[in-house]
A and B are shown apart, each in its own frame.
Chain A
Amino acid sequence: MSTTPDSTLTFKDFKTDQQVKWCAGCGDHSILVQLQKVLAGQRTDRDHTVFVSGIGCSSRFPYYMDTYGFHSIHGRAPAIASGVKCANPGLDVWVVTGDGDALSIGGNHFLHAVRRNIGLKIIMFNNRIYGLTKGQYSPTSDFGTRTKSSPAGSIDHPIHPISVAIGAEITFAARAVDTDLEHLQYVLARAAAHQGTAFVEVYQNCTVYNNDCYSWATDRQTKHEHIVYLEHGKPLIFGNNRDKGLRFNGDEPEIVELAKVSPDDLIIHDERTHDPSTAFMLARLTHPEFPEPLGVFRAMEKPVYEDLLMGQLAAARDQQGTGNLQALFRAGETWDVA
């Protein structure tokens, strides 16, 4: 991560002169500001930071962030960002994407960026709808969602983004909610510090086309009944009175009342365990049957693509010396004509 000793930067230094054009009340505003605060707090070197996005409301993001930026084409941001990272591994490269952008048209690029463990921080704004194209159902929309393109209810089954990322061997996966500012900052800061691909799913409210789709997770009165915070090494406890927990019943998760079980029976969160199965299970817990986990699902160390790429080049030079065109041209059989 590129940082400068300039500690005078504030989040305002990450704003551009462009007018932010998201709808009033859109969750995107909050995510932008939290990330600006995180970058300022980490004293990020703006000149060595690049934001790459696809297409969608969320993908307007780079215009509002005073770093280098590339607003690209629909679904392709991970591929474009991969090229940026390979060309200059010294840059901090962020990808901003939507649920349609990342998982529908860009699903393939998302999977492959993740499996390579290339140094990209992919922030997916999940509003479970296509915002920019005015409200069609997306790959994360609930089954039965009624939209302009699904007036009788969508017959597509939604995917769980984090379980997809885990299936593709993600080394860092986390989830946050747009209105839980402190926690969102915590998760983004963790992503910023990760080596390799970091994936953050942010539950983002689209006030216009999918308003209140996350009210169960944001309503101050009831949200603690519906979400569970993941903390490394701690048991999974939730509820307004922190009176409920999650434990395994055989292979299946179940909700238990703390009064009735010993805390030792609960699932202890381990973001570093090699076996992805518990993280995968957690990624599939859905409201209203279960509380949905927020926080860091997984944070692993694994060789990073750009290091391996540059390492192979360095190793070849160590062994054979720096490339010489003259020698390359004359490789193989040559002959002279006088």
Chain B
Amino acid sequence: MGTATGTDVHSDPPRATPIRELAQAAVRFAGDSGDGMQLAGSQFTATSAMFGNDIATFPDFPAEIRAPMGTLAGVSGFQINFASRRIFTPGDRVDVLVAMNPAALKVNLPDLVEGGVLIVNEDEFTPANLQRAQYDGNPLETDAFRNYQLYKIPVTTQTLGAVRETGLGQRDAGRCKNFYALGVLFWLFERQLEPTIRWINAKFGKAPAVAAANRLALEAGYNFGETTEIFGERFRVRPAQLEPGTYRNITGNQATALGIVTAGELAGKPVFYGSYPITPASEILHELSGMKTFDVRVFQAEDEIAAMCAVVGAAFAGALAVTGTSGPGMALKQEAIGLGVMTELPMLIVNVQRGGPSTGLPTKTEQSDLWQAILGRNGDCPLPVLAAQSPADCFWATIEAARIAVKYMTPVVLLTDGYLAQGSEPWRIPAPAELTPIPIQHATDPLTFKPFQRNEVGARPWAIPGTPNLRHRIGGLEKEDVTGNVCYVPENHQRMTLHRARKIAGIVRDVPDQEVYGEPEGDLLVVSWGGTFGAVRTAVERAREDGQVVSHAHIRWLHPFPQNLGTLLKRFRRILVCELNMGQLEFLLRGNFLVDTLGLHKVQGRPFRVSDIREHLDALLGGQAS
């Protein structure tokens, strides 16, 4: 648990359970996939966010939709880190673990800190469930948990008792136990029940008995904490100092979807979103499908090839054309992305990376599509690539990508990942009027129009069908410079290849210079990109707090790299590149700048823990701290 900022005994709760004040705490709800843990977690998140904590969340789903009940494969978890200060990650380990069955206990216990609070639903520790979780005997009857604060609560029977008056059947009544567990945690952290009650009422408005049962379960859980004396202490995490404004909690995929709609509005363009369902990108498709009051035309294609092709067609016809996918889908799109590069049309490709290769780890995160994004097509086929660094940043990165796409007439790849996509954090809601419009220029003058005549940034004109007298033909064959006629002249191909490369390289004028956190030169620079920002920044911050001399550069634009990146890298004696792959950014840095690098590579389908990086820094720096 975060640093205790003081222990005080309050007298306001009826029984005066002592309250410990914390700067930060991480909680995980874990249970069977059917136990509603994602819901409990997101309610705890919403309440804590509204209370004013800074938060970061990490849902962890099983790959199977309905793994056999009670098994290790079916465990679903939701982790929330909340704090009275700025935080960047969902936390390495948890201070409180709720385990709704033996399998959840077994899978999640390794992540509970020593001395942490462990709440188990003892009703579910039946011989059958123990066997499904591959326990020999009931661990609750041993002293296996002596290093934790173990609370055994009969959540199932308590819930059934609490909701009996609603007359719901055993099955429906039992499904309220997530709210009971949530109630217990709300008591433990002095949280209010009202936001969740409001949510229940809205959600189950049409099923009053179900709404009542969930409310009763929630209140019963809370009252259990209040009236029984089993808990030795409660915890208080005060609101954080966030930048003033109106906030909401947002996942990366929600932020991406909002960014897409916003980009369309800023450009004054209909949005065309062509996509094929794939984890973990599908929520973008779902979100946009629900935004029909905007001009968002969603096309669920027959496959990713078709989705990408439809995007190319929609771009030709003048829409703000976007696709979203994940690794295997990205692989399928590459030929059509090449067509987008060749025809120099603006479009946005969002790749929510997951563990690979092949089907890999569909529900787990990784950063292993960087090469695929930058290098993954036939021919010399450059396009700009950037990566979002946090769930809320997906919104800003999407708009930035769209802006570059139309300015330079090029496909742009935005990399997010499963961790950002499903994780959440508070998003300071911008006022739409404060957002900079995305200027669009269409060719209209038949006297001057030449399909491949370039402007000052090397972009060709965007002349859309329907424009009077601008009829022209484009395609995947090499085109003659300026006129756009099919052309196989050897020198022309070289010239056009160069034009395409220079145009993309020139995007650097819109890429901000690389910033460094910490000293701008010295012994050790930690480099990261994409969704690992939070863990790496936190690790470097803590190392510096502990007196270690280390700097951090988080790279947003992976292609082209910021103008000053090469010089900056050369100002450090050692460069440590941290990424969730086998060294893809390292390879690019070495190739581009002829610098040597060290790598920290994690490919376990999980994000970095702060401690992963800390330990590595300690090893490199001689272990001064922690």
A positions within 8 Å CB-CB of B: 16, 18, 46-50, 52, 55, 62-63, 66-73, 76, 79-88, 90-91, 108-109, 111-112, 309-310, 312-313, 315-317, 320-326, 328-330, 332-338
Chain A residues within an 8 Å CB radius of B258: 328-329
What are 17 A-B pairs with beta-carbon distances under 8 A? A46-B471, A52-B313, A69-B474, A70-B475, A73-B336, A73-B338, A76-B305, A79-B309, A83-B299, A83-B313, A83-B314, A87-B321, A112-B306, A325-B261, A330-B246, A332-B248, A333-B199
Query: A56 to nearest B CB, angstroms?
Result: 13
Contact indicator A70/B261 (Cβ below 8 Å): no
**Quick one: CB contact mask for B489-522 with A, threshold 8 Å, 1 for yes?**
0000000000000000000000000000000000
* Cα distance A84–B432 in the bound complex, in angstroms: 29
A87: chain B residues within 8 A (beta carbon): 270, 272, 297, 313-319, 321
Once the chains bind, are A79 and B297 in contact (CB under 8 Å)?
Answer: no
Contact between A83 and B309, CB atoms less than 8 A apart: yes
Are A334 and B319 neighbours in the complex by a CB distance under 8 Å?
no
Q: In the complex the two chains form, what is the Cα distance from A224 to B468 in whole Å?
A: 45
**Complex-state Cα separation, A312 to B294, whole angstroms:** 11
Using A83-B299, A87-B297, A333-B49 as known contacts, list a sample of 14 further A-B pairs with CB atoms less than 8 Å apart, ordered by residue number in A: A48-B465, A69-B473, A70-B343, A71-B474, A72-B309, A72-B339, A79-B302, A82-B299, A84-B317, A86-B314, A87-B318, A108-B302, A109-B309, A317-B292
Q: Given A88-B465, A337-B243: A80 and B471 within 8 A (CB)?
A: no
B564: CB under 8 A from chain A? Answer: no
- Check B306–A76 contact: CB distance below 8 A: yes
User: A329's contact among B46, B310, B432, B466, by CB below 8 Å, is which?
Assistant: B432
Q: Is the CB of A80 within 8 A of B302?
A: no
Asked if B467 is at the interface (CB within 8 A of a chain A CB), the reply is yes
Please, which residues of chain B bring their CB within 8 A of the CB of A334?
246-248, 429
**B440 at interface by CB-CB < 8 Å:** no
Q: A-facing mask of B272-308, CB < 8 A → 1, else 0? A: 1010000000000000000111111101011101110
Which one of B50, B295, B469 contacts A335 once the chains associate, using CB atoms below 8 Å?
B50
Flag if B293 contacts A68 (CB, 8 Å): no
Residues of A within 8 A of B303 (CB): 108
Q: Given that A50-B465, A81-B313 are known contacts, is A337 also in contact with B244, CB under 8 Å in the complex?
A: yes
- Contact pick for A323, options B46, B293, B310, B431, CB 8 Å: B293
Query: Which B-chain residue is minimally distant from A55 (CB atoms)?
Result: B476
**In the complex with contacts A79-B313, A112-B302, A70-B295 CB distance below 8 A:** no
CB contacts (< 8 Å) of B199 on chain A: these are 333
Q: Do A330 and B473 touch (CB < 8 A)?
A: no
Most buried by B among A50, A71, A84, A324: A84
Give Cα A332 to B297, complex, Å. Answer: 23
Contact status A338-B244, CB under 8 Å:
yes
How far is A321 from B338 in the complex, measured between Cα atoms in Å?
39
Asked if residues A88 and B339 are in contact (CB atoms below 8 Å), the reply is no
Distance in angstroms between the alpha carbons of A335 and B261 in the assembled complex: 23
Assuming the contacts A48-B466, A87-B318, A325-B261, asked whether A80 and B313 have C-beta atoms less than 8 A apart, the reply is: yes
B314 engages A84 (CB within 8 Å): yes
Contact partners of A46 in chain B: CB under 8 A:
471
Interface status of B265 (Cβ within 8 A of chain A): yes
**B339 pairs with A47, CB closer than 8 A:** no
Chain B: which residue is nearest A112 at the CB level? B302
| Interface residues of B, Cβ cutoff 8 Å to A | 46, 49-50, 52, 195, 199, 242-249, 258, 261-262, 265, 270, 272, 274, 291-297, 299, 301-303, 305-307, 309-319, 321, 335-336, 338-339, 343, 429-432, 464-477, 485-486
- A50 neighbours in B (Cβ, 8 Å): 317, 465
Given contacts A16-B473, A88-B318, A329-B258, contact A83 B310 (CB under 8 A): yes
Most chain B CB inside 10 Å of its own CB: which residue of A18, A69, A330: A69
Chain B neighbourhood of A48, CB < 8 A: 465-466
The CA-CA distance from A313 to B467 in the complex, in Å, is 24
Q: Which residue of A46, A309, A337 has the most chain B CB atoms within 10 A of its CB atom?
A: A337
Interface centre among A71, A83, A88, A312 (most CB of B within 10 A): A83
Which residues from B are CB-within-8-Å of A108? 302-303, 306
Question: CA of A33 to CA of B465 in the docked complex: distance in angstroms?
Answer: 22
- Asked if residues B302 and A109 are in contact (CB atoms below 8 Å), the reply is yes
Nearest CB on A from B31, distance (A): 24
Given the known A-B contacts A83-B312, A86-B310, A326-B432, are A337 and B242 also in contact in the complex, defined by CB atoms under 8 Å? Answer: yes
Contacts of B314 in A (CB 8 A): 83-84, 86-87
Task: Assess the A72–B294 pair: CB atoms within 8 A.
Answer: no
Q: Are B475 and A336 in contact (CB under 8 A)?
A: no
CB–CB A335/B49 < 8 A: yes
* A63–B480 CA distance with the chains assembled, in angstroms: 14
Nearest Cβ in chain B — how far from A215, in angstroms? 33
- CB-based closest 4 A-B pairs: A83-B313, A71-B475, A83-B310, A316-B292
- In the complex, what residue of chain A is closest to B269 when comparing beta carbons? A87
By a CB distance below 8 angstroms, the chain A residues around B274 are 83
Residue in B246, B292, B317 whose beta carbon sits within 8 Å of that of A336 in the complex: B246
Q: A178 to B249, alpha carbons, bound, how many Å?
A: 62
The verdict on A326 contacting B466 (CB below 8 Å), with A72-B339, A76-B306 known, is: no
Q: Is the CB of B311 within 8 A of A83?
A: yes
**CB-based contact B242/A316 at 8 Å:** no
A47 and B466: CB pair below 8 A? yes
Question: How far is the CB of A64 from the nearest CB of chain B, in Å?
Answer: 9
Residues of A within 8 A of B291 (CB): 323, 328
Across the interface, which residues of A come within 8 angstroms of B305, CB to CB? Answer: 76, 79, 109
Q: How far is the CA of A82 from the CA of B270 in the complex (A)?
A: 15
Of all chain A residues, the one with the shortest Cβ separation from B274 is A83
Given contacts A47-B468, A88-B465, A335-B50, contact A83 B293 (CB under 8 A): no
Alpha-carbon distance between A50 and B317 when the two chains are bound, in angstroms? 9
Shortest C-beta distance, A22 to chain B (Å), equals 14
A80 touches B310 (CB 8 A): yes
- Say yes or no: B471 contacts A70, CB within 8 Å: no
Knowing A76-B306, A90-B466, the reply to whether A330 touches B293 (Cβ < 8 A) is no
CA distance A109 to B304 in the complex (A): 11
Q: Chain B nearest CB: distance from A167 CB in Å? A: 15
Q: In the bound complex, how far is the Cα of B293 from the Cα of A326, in angstroms?
A: 13
Determine which of B317, B476, B477 lies in contact with A83 in the assembled complex, contact meaning CB atoms within 8 Å: B317
Residues on A with beta carbons closer than 8 Å to the beta carbon of B246:
330, 334-337
Compute how far the CA of A50 lies from the CA of B473 in the bound complex, rounded to whole angstroms: 9
Known: A80-B313, A112-B306. A91 touches B293 (CB 8 A): no
CA distance A152 to B624 in the complex (A): 76
Whether the pair A73, B485 counts as a contact (CB closer than 8 A) is no
- Contact check, A71 vs B473: say whether CB atoms are below 8 A apart: yes
Give which listed residue, B295, B296, B477, contacts A71 with CB less than 8 A. Answer: B477
Q: Is the CB of A83 within 8 A of B468?
A: no
Partner of B473, one of A63, A80, A321: A63
When the two chains form their complex, are residues B473 and A70 in contact, meaning their CB atoms are under 8 A apart? yes
Q: A50-B317, A334-B246 are in contact. Are A88 and B309 (CB under 8 A)?
A: no
Tell me the minimal C-beta distance from A37 to chain B in angstroms: 18
Residues of A within 8 A of B292 (CB): 312-313, 315-317
The answer to whether A84 and B466 touch (CB under 8 A), given A68-B472, A337-B247, is no
Partner of A317, one of B248, B272, B293, B309: B293
**Would you give the shortest CB distance from B57 to chain A, in whole angstroms?**
14
Residues on A with beta carbons closer than 8 Å to the beta carbon of B465: 47-50, 68, 84, 88, 91
How far apart are B467's CB and chain A's nearest CB, in angstroms? Answer: 7
If the complex has contacts A70-B316, A86-B272, A326-B431, are A80 and B50 also in contact, measured as CB distance less than 8 A? no
Residue of B245, B343, B466, B473 touching A88 (CB-CB under 8 A): B466
Chain A residues, Cβ within 8 Å of B474: 69-71
> Could you say which of B262, B311, B315, B477 contacts A325, with CB atoms under 8 Å apart?
B262
Residues of A within 8 A of B486 (CB): 18, 63
Minimum CB–CB distance from B322 to chain A (whole Å) comes to 11
Residue of A nearest to B463 (CB): A68
Task: Give the distance in Å from the alpha carbon of A76 to the alpha carbon of B274 in the complex.
Answer: 14
Chain B, residue nearest A92 (CB)? B465
Rounded to whole angstroms, the CA-CA distance of A52 and B338 in the bound complex is: 17
